Structure 1
Amino acid sequence: MDTLRKTREITQAWFERNMKGDPWLWGIALFLLGGGVIVVYSASVMQAYMYYGGDTEFVLFKQIQLAIATFVIMYLVHLIPYTKFVFFSRMGVWLAVILLLFTFFEGVRVNEADRWIKIPIINQSFQPSEVAKITLIAHLALILALRFKKDWSDMRLLVEPMLMIGLVCALIFRSNVSTAALLGATCFMMLYVGKVPKRYLAITMVSFLVVSGLLVVLKVGQRGRTAEARLESFMDSDTVSMQSSNAYKAMARGGILGEGVAKSYQKHYLPNGDSDFIFAIIVEEYGLVGALVVIAAFLLLLYRGLRAISKPKRPYGGLLSAGLTFSIVFQAFATMAVTVGLFPTTGQTLPFISNGGTSMLLTGAAMGIILSVSRGELEEI
């Protein structure tokens, strides 16, 4: 008993010394990462067998490596005082714009859209839109924080952030409509939390809806036609896509308690069951109970991530944490809403859980920044 108690005390002391910040946030991230490994392995067995020479554990080991890398990034980023991200927020957003422009001309095409940039030598690709999300949120948090401290005029507040939000979202829109929409919604919520006058919020909302609607109707960009087709299919009650049909069947099989771990039947027929539609596999294997646990985890993440707003002496940290939290949670609930048929198909992954590359790693970086803010050890400069 003494040995067990000492081991527990040593372990607890190590965590308190090395993993600072909100313990609830750490717990949520580790729970989602660990659960994601199990679900992705189950959902990808058939895919791994077909495309990797019968090696059904290929995706499992890849997902474990990705989860470990995500945790390491999250850990390293949380060690950086969040006030240091002020410089990053100023420079990073322009770097993201340059990367998005480069993607426009030299991007790697996937699913009829140039979303990726291939890194030479290591031969790995990443999506600049994922970088743009973090940098734009950080930049907007800085602008809103400066308004509190320097009393910017309302006109300057309207023009500068709106131009940057519009530029970044427009560059993303041409190849990824859903990501641009979610980023726009995140920025709007940051403006609301940042106490921007309601008349400017109304102008922003109307402008965003009108412009995005016109872009979809006019089929602007590489994915404009796809977005219109998905909206038409969603509005037609007599038309159900093959993906949605199989997702509904999977969830119907799940019932209250689910079929059991790795006992999904519909994974053999559901395209993107380990990524875009992984929530359907969760419901099939773990039932309504499992679905509610996942939903509760993201709601708890939302609550804990927004707590920094209540500290008026740290407006930059509060807005930064709120914006990144909104981004992660909005994406999660958009993915789940698509799976159950509340939204048109978007192609978004479930943060921390779905099989993915740069999206998961950069989500870890965003979570690390949120944890850095939650440390609360420094006052803003």
Structure 2
Amino acid sequence: MSTRRKAGLWSGLDRPILVIVIFLMTIGIVLAFAASPAAVERSSWIDDPFYYLYRQLAFMGAGLVILAFSSALSLTGVRRFAGLTLVCAYVALILVLVIGVEVNGSTRWIRLGQFSLQPSEFLKPAFVVIAAWLFSEEDRGAPVYGRLVAFGLYGLGAFLLMQQTDFGQTTLLTLLFGALLWSGGLSLAWTAGLAVVASVGGFLVYSSVPYIRSRIADYLGLTQTDGPTQTGRAIEAMSHGGIWGVGPGEGQVKHLLPEAHTDYVFSVAAEEYGLIASLAIIGLYALLFARAWMLCLRLNDPFAQLATSGLALLFALQALVNIGVNLDIAPSTGMTLPFISYGGSSMLALCFSAGLLLALTRRRPGAYAPRTRQGDLPA
């Protein structure tokens, strides 16, 4: 391959998005270094205190390879690869119901040697891209009911996720789909109607699934516990950290919370590095969303525009939910903090999502040129 061709594969990538993603991954490595020894203390089969750090480094390396590959795709390649990923995710979600392993009371993983695959992590970005493509094809006048097909794909995904009692990912998928429908031109009346349907569906799930009722009751403080809850400890840790933190490695919450390196890694950061670091992490997610949204508004291709907005919202919502759980303003969901929490499936899927985002926003000829249709504004 010629030097010019190699340069072409990497040229045009949005550097601010790439830098923010790598910055977040680096923060994740720093926090894995802090939380790994405490997580190993609670394990009876791990001897190396930096076991989780080494694994996170390996996941980061593999994720960067996936990011590099997916960011080099053309718009057609993005659609095709996302479609293949979506099919594989559905197949894997079905396999979870048959051969899945149970972790913390939920069956969401397929064991592959030393690696546990969580298919729902890959479902989200693939669904966003394919739903955006279906919407844009219908709007172009293609002989396909794109929104109806997307509803079917959403229904199948939500059904399979609920079979795993994964209410958090189901809610996130629902919010993403609703946002895509609204961004794709759904009227306010239809939006309100679907919101009512979703609310009724959520109430029925709450009424019929004991696991969901238990999580909501814990969040509302309606259940009696012998000691502080996980979220309570996370709040204490953030209070203990103050403005500047207690110092690297000096935090105590990681020794008390079994999920300090995953669900509650934000509280580890807040305790050891303080309010300033916490606000910096939130700011990075805000910048990532704002940058992607700004590029989305300037894109010409309707598919690229809608898919970019959906992927940007995926990062923002997932970060918002995780941080909300740590701050006790949202019930526990088991959702990771993007690029920072420990986890192989999460890291690989998020790098795949970031690669797709970079591919969609790549500066290629005509991507950001002024629109020519009557009534459109220049980019």
- TM-score of the superposed pair, with normalisation by structure 2: 0.87
> What is the 5 A alignment of 1:16-27?
18=10, 20-27=12-19
Select between 174-183 and 19-28 the one with higher mean Cα deviation: 19-28
Equivalent position amino acid for 2:137 in 1: L
Which of 206, 213, 235 is equivalent to 1:228?
A: 213
Which of 129, 139, 153 is equivalent to 1:148?
A: 139
Residue of structure 2 equivalent to 1:185 = 175
Structure 1 residues 41, 28: CA separation in 2 closer, same or farther (over 3 Å shift)?
A: same
Aligned partner of residue 111 in structure 2, secondary structure: strand
Aligned length: 358
Alignment of 1:310 with 2:302, yes or no, is no
Which of 188, 191, 195 is equivalent to 1:205?
A: 195
Distance (Å, rounded) in 1 between the aligned partners of 2:9 and 2:160 = 42
Residue of structure 2 equivalent to 1:31 = 23
Structure 1 residues 90, 59: CA separation in 2 closer, same or farther (over 3 Å shift)?
A: closer
Which of 163, 171, 175 is equivalent to 2:160?
A: 171
Aligned partner of residue 361 in structure 1, secondary structure: helix
> What is the 5 A alignment of 1:118-129?
118-119=111-112, 122=113, 124-129=115-120
Distance (Å, rounded) in 1 between the aligned partners of 2:261 and 2:186 = 40
Residue of structure 1 equivalent to 2:309 = 322
Residue of structure 2 equivalent to 1:346 = 333
Distance (Å, rounded) in 1 between the aligned partners of 2:267 and 2:173 = 24
Alignment of 1:68 with 2:61, yes or no, is yes
Select between 97-106 and 47-56 the one with higher mean Cα deviation: 47-56
Select between 258-267 and 81-90 the one with higher mean Cα deviation: 81-90
Identical counterparts, % of pairs: 26
Distance (Å, rounded) in 2 between the aligned partners of 1:265 and 1:227 = 30
| Residue 230 of structure 1: how far off its partner (Å) | 1.2
| Residue 126 of structure 1: how far off its partner (Å) | 0.6
Q: Could you tell me whether the CA contact under 8 Å between 1:309 and 1:315 is conserved in 2?
A: no
Structure 1 residues 378, 209: CA separation in 2 closer, same or farther (over 3 Å shift)?
A: farther
Residue of structure 1 equivalent to 2:371 = none
Structure 1 residues 312, 362: CA separation in 2 closer, same or farther (over 3 Å shift)?
A: closer
| Residue 20 of structure 1: how far off its partner (Å) | 4.2
| Residue 379 of structure 1: how far off its partner (Å) | 5.6
Structure 1 residues 174, 231: CA separation in 2 closer, same or farther (over 3 Å shift)?
A: same
Distance (Å, rounded) in 2 between the aligned partners of 1:331 and 1:362 = 13
Alignment of 1:81 with 2:74, yes or no, is yes
What are the ranges of 5 or more consecutive residues in structure 1 without an aligned counterpart? 1-13, 220-224
Q: Could you tell me whether the CA contact under 8 Å between 2:132 and 2:303 is conserved in 1?
A: yes
Distance (Å, rounded) in 1 between the aligned partners of 2:309 and 2:330 = 24
Structure 1 residues 186, 267: CA separation in 2 closer, same or farther (over 3 Å shift)?
A: same
| Residue 165 of structure 1: how far off its partner (Å) | 1.2
Alignment of 1:161 with 2:150, yes or no, is yes
Structure 1 residues 317, 126: CA separation in 2 closer, same or farther (over 3 Å shift)?
A: same
Residue of structure 1 equivalent to 2:230 = 243
| Residue 130 of structure 1: how far off its partner (Å) | 1.4
| Residue 347 of structure 1: how far off its partner (Å) | 1.0
Q: Could you tell me whether the CA contact under 8 Å between 1:308 and 1:373 is conserved in 2?
A: no
Which of 350, 355, 370 is equivalent to 2:342?
A: 355
Alignment of 1:337 with 2:327, yes or no, is no
Equivalent position amino acid for 2:206 in 1: V
Residue of structure 2 equivalent to 1:46 = 38
Residue of structure 2 equivalent to 1:297 = 284
| Residue 311 of structure 1: how far off its partner (Å) | 3.4
Distance (Å, rounded) in 2 between the aligned partners of 1:54 and 1:97 = 36
Q: Could you tell me whether the CA contact under 8 Å between 2:215 and 2:332 is conserved in 1?
A: yes
Distance (Å, rounded) in 2 between the aligned partners of 1:15 and 1:248 = 48
Distance (Å, rounded) in 1 between the aligned partners of 2:178 and 2:115 = 33
Equivalent position amino acid for 2:196 in 1: V
Structure 1 residues 90, 362: CA separation in 2 closer, same or farther (over 3 Å shift)?
A: closer
| Residue 19 of structure 1: how far off its partner (Å) | 6.3
**Cα deviation per residue 1:192-221 (whole Å; 9 max; x = unaligned)?**
1112222222222122221122122111xx
> What is the 5 A alignment of 1:128-143?
128-143=119-134
Distance (Å, rounded) in 2 between the aligned partners of 1:205 and 1:107 = 32
Residue of structure 1 equivalent to 2:3 = none
Structure 1 residues 379, 124: CA separation in 2 closer, same or farther (over 3 Å shift)?
A: farther
Q: Could you tell me whether the CA contact under 8 Å between 2:134 and 2:147 is conserved in 1?
A: no
Select between 195-204 and 17-26 the one with higher mean Cα deviation: 17-26
What are the ranges of 5 or more consecutive residues in structure 2 without an aligned counterpart? 1-5, 368-379
- TM-score of the superposed pair, with normalisation by structure 1: 0.87
> What is the 5 A alignment of 1:253-268?
253-268=240-255
